[in-house]
Chain A
């Protein structure tokens, strides 16, 4: 595969008995057997055996020990997570298990030094603010969250803060980025992680990715205890953001004083900020 394509690859997708494709530079690309980008008809396909071997390796040879995370749609791996989907089995309206995994999406996570500088500068001028980072999926929200969180923890251009990460899917903190300067609660639902961090680690800032309605109560409670939240959420624009009931509640309760919309053009990361 061309090096330039590798550099800008965001996602790698494998489907059982289906095509192998990558998402790079905002496009779905289909490599052939020689790694050259080609038309979908000539694309490399993943056999059942290859696919199962891939899942087996992602689970370090013990698929059953990832039952819980697979049920929640992912397999945690050292540099992020592998999203999975397939034939789900529900019981009493809740997901019981994924009987057969048929697709795997490997997200390529990046650590961009100083990416959060603009936000840190705002904190420096106006004081720390609860921040909501939003964009459609795959634009780099987690990259920005990671950068801002680590810059605050390291005290880069600002005094060092006590930062706690509620990292449910073990994808915010990469193995080589934490360096023992932040507290990470990983592998459990965000609202539980936020509650535990608030109660036991007395953080000044909590970083939380892709907040959902289930997290609202705990996030409001944390703000009430003097913790600043830096969260992310899927939305194309501010209108879409405000249309989400749980976000509206959080904004009305004063959890956020800064909004940041992440965008990517031609693979280049960027974001705009708005002080509320």
Chain B
């Protein structure tokens, strides 16, 4: 009985290690999704009502689990500083940073054009990154589970 419990514990530990190993990518996917929602919200607010940026940020509901630090930084220091709190892939980070530096500095027409192009890039990156992350996550989970099983066989 003790041996079975020990084997199960080892398997669970390896499974959790696998989850931990893929956590960063999973967070990046979630954050990327939130950022995509935020940029769409900014574009809507600017094109419809020319709402000032602080009011736009205040009116957006963030997923607190992944975006708490980002939200705090966004509301106090602005998007350019808040972007640094994220764990985004470089293909998303660079256009987002470029957008952050341009946001609020031109007229609404140019702001909407810039937002549209950034949203387009972020959508592509999100789609591809999510697919890659799912495949990578499955492989890593499988690998860790297998390693757990091997460890159990070797020990017993």
Residues of B within 8 A of A70 (CB): 107
Q: Which applies to chain A's interface (DSSP): helix, strand, loop or mixed?
A: helix
- For the complex, what is the distance from the CA of A62 to the CA of B54, rounded to whole Å? 9
Nearest residue in B to A53 (C-beta to C-beta)? B105
State the Cβ distance, B150 to closest chain A Cβ, in Å. 57
How far, in angstroms, from A60 to B50 measured CA to CA in the complex? 13
Residues from 82 to 107 in B contacting A, C-beta threshold 8 Å: 104-107
Closest to B108 in A: A64
CB contacts (< 8 Å) of B105 on chain A: these are 52, 56, 63
Contact with B along A29-68 (1 / 0, CB 8 A): 0000000000000000000000010001001111111010
| Residues of chain B in range 42-83 having any CB-CB distance to chain A below 8 Å | 46, 50-54, 78
Q: Bin chain B's interface residue count.
A: 10 to 19
Tell me which of B104, B106, B109 contacts A61 (CB under 8 A): B104
Check A64/B50 contact, CB under 8 A, given A56-B104, A56-B105, A59-B104. Answer: yes
User: Which residue of chain A lies nearest to B50 when distances are taken between CB atoms in the complex?
Assistant: A65
Distance from B51 Cβ to chain A, minimum over Cβ atoms (Å): 7
A64 and B107 form a contact (CB under 8 A) = yes
Contacts of A56 in B (CB 8 A): 104-105
> Contacts A52-B105, A56-B104; is A64 near B111 (CB within 8 Å)?
yes
Interface size class, chain A: 10 to 19
Q: Given that A52-B105, A67-B107, A67-B108 are known contacts, is A61 also in contact with B50, CB under 8 Å in the complex? A: no
Within the complex, what minimum Cβ distance (angstroms) separates A98 from chain B?
8
Query: Given B51, B78, B106, which contacts A63 in the complex, CB threshold below 8 Å?
Result: B106
Nearest residue (CB) in A for B51 is: A65
Chain B min CB distance to A3 (Å): 35
Residue of B nearest to A59 (CB): B104
Pair B107/A62 contact, Cβ less than 8 Å:
no
Q: Which B residues are in CB contact (< 8 Å) with A62? A: 50, 52-54, 104
**B46 cross-chain contacts in A, Cβ below 8 A:** 64
A87 → B minimal CB distance (Å):
12
Cross-chain contact A61 with B53 (CB below 8 angstroms):
yes
Closest 5 CB pairs of A and B: A64-B108, A62-B52, A65-B50, A62-B104, A61-B104
Assuming A67-B50, A97-B109, what are 8 further A-B pairs, CB within 8 angstroms? A60-B54, A61-B54, A61-B78, A63-B104, A63-B107, A64-B106, A64-B111, A65-B52
A-B CB contact pairs (8 Å), 9 listed: A62-B54, A62-B104, A64-B46, A64-B107, A64-B110, A65-B52, A67-B107, A67-B108, A97-B109
